[in-house]
Amino acid sequence: MTRETASEIADRAARWVAQMASGEWNAEREAELGRWREGDPRREGALLQAQAALAMIEAARVPALAANDADRYEGGVRRRQFLIGGGAAVAGVAASIGFFDLISAGSTYRTQVGEIRRIPLDDGSTAAINTASRVSIDLRQDLRLVEVSEGEAWFQVAKDRQRPFLVEAGRVRVRAVGTAFSVRRLEKGADVLVTEGVVEVWTDGAEGHIVRIAEGNRAYVGDNSFVEMANPRTSSVDRSLAWRAGKIDLVGQPLSEAVAEFNRYNKRKIVLLDPALGAEQFDGIFRTDDPIGFAEAIRTSLNVPLNMADPLLIQIGSTNQK
């Protein structure tokens, strides 16, 4: 049997917490949860993190709720406070990864720079929303409609042939029934990466030109109906989606691209003072929220100056470097 990845365990933990919060919990589900927790030692930690994250959201939202409507908030999403793990308190979880919401109606979610949110949907699907993104989700009777108007999101779609799962990103359309994929909105199109199953892509107004993208592949889909498939041997889907675990995975990537990726997640920006450094290739796995660690690794490996005097900038190299 294939060993679950950390991302798969986190997704399943999110769905367990969503079921707990829904108020439809019973002894049968409690027993099933117990068996799931015993199946892998990593699952206990993932469940506690999911529960703690939801509890933190609840605590933050309660003061802002009206006294006569304390189980509702904007977007039509209902909440019930619940005890975690039979009443045990969970504290100290402050990471930006793993803040969960249960969607039962149309809702729009924004993430700030550096924020990554994992959202279990009440149809059994899961969405992970990347930094600086805006995603709207509308679960209808006959259609599950998602709009990625800014940024990027990854979806683990529960199978439901009666309700297709459709993502809109500008004029780009991505359709799936039961699969996993990501969509990143770009200025003139979208990047689509498939981690499981197959998706169909097209642009609005060009429904006769549908392209299928299979597991392990990625494509750029333009608003003008242009579709460009990437070479999977030079473009790892798993590395590109390392952000789901709060990581940036670099393998032979030009330093200019690596810097641009870090700047997506941080308000403190990295600047290459010497343009020639941008062509240098760089390997390594870093936290999305650790631009300093990344910059120090560059200084060590390339033997270049590093200036961090400005609290909003990290300057690498020098203007007179040769």
pLDDT-above-70 percentage for the chain: 78
Task: Provide the residue type at 9 as one letter.
Answer: I
Which range, 11-20, 227-236, 310-319, is most confident? 310-319
Q: What angle do CA 121, 122, 127 make, to 5 degrees?
A: 10
Per the model's pLDDT, the better-predicted residue between 219 and 100 turns out to be 219
Q: Point out the least confidently predicted range of 29-38, 41-50, 186-195, 217-226.
A: 41-50
Cβ count near 187 (within 10 Å): 6
* 147's tokens: 């709009």
Average pLDDT over residues 269-295: 94
Q: Which band of pLDDT confidence, cut at 50, 70 and 90, is reported for residue 14?
A: confident
6-21 and 41-61 are packed helices; what angle lies between their axes, rounded to 10 degrees?
50
Phi, psi angles (nearest 5°) of residue 91:
-140, 170
134-152 per-position pLDDT tens digit: 999 999 889 999 999 999 9
Contact 169, 200 (CB under 8 A): no
* 276's tokens: 């020639």
Residue 118 has pLDDT above 50, yes or no: yes
**CA-to-CA distance for 36 and 40, rounded, in angstroms?**
8
Per-residue pLDDT at 245? 87
* Alpha-carbon dihedral sign for residues 190, 262, 317, 304: negative
Per-residue pLDDT at 308? 95
Per-residue pLDDT at 70? 36
Average pLDDT over residues 165-182: 94
* 238's tokens: 């798993």
Residue 87 has pLDDT above 50, yes or no: no
Task: Provide the residue type at 224 as one letter.
Answer: N
Per-residue pLDDT at 1? 56
Q: What angle do CA 243, 180, 14 make, to 5 degrees?
A: 65
Q: pTM of whole model > 0.75?
A: no
Per-residue pLDDT at 311? 94
Q: Point out the least confidently predicted range of 52-61, 77-86, 222-231, 277-286.
A: 77-86
211 contact partners, CB below 8 Å, separation of at least 6: 200, 201, 202, 219, 221, 227
Residue 100 has pLDDT above 50, yes or no: no
Per-residue pLDDT at 252? 83
Task: Provide the residue type at 116 as one letter.
Answer: I
Residue 81 has pLDDT above 80, yes or no: no
Beta bridge partners of 269: 313
The chain-wide mean pLDDT, for the chain, equals 81
Q: Which band of pLDDT confidence, cut at 50, 70 and 90, is reported for residue 11?
A: confident
Per-residue pLDDT at 46? 76
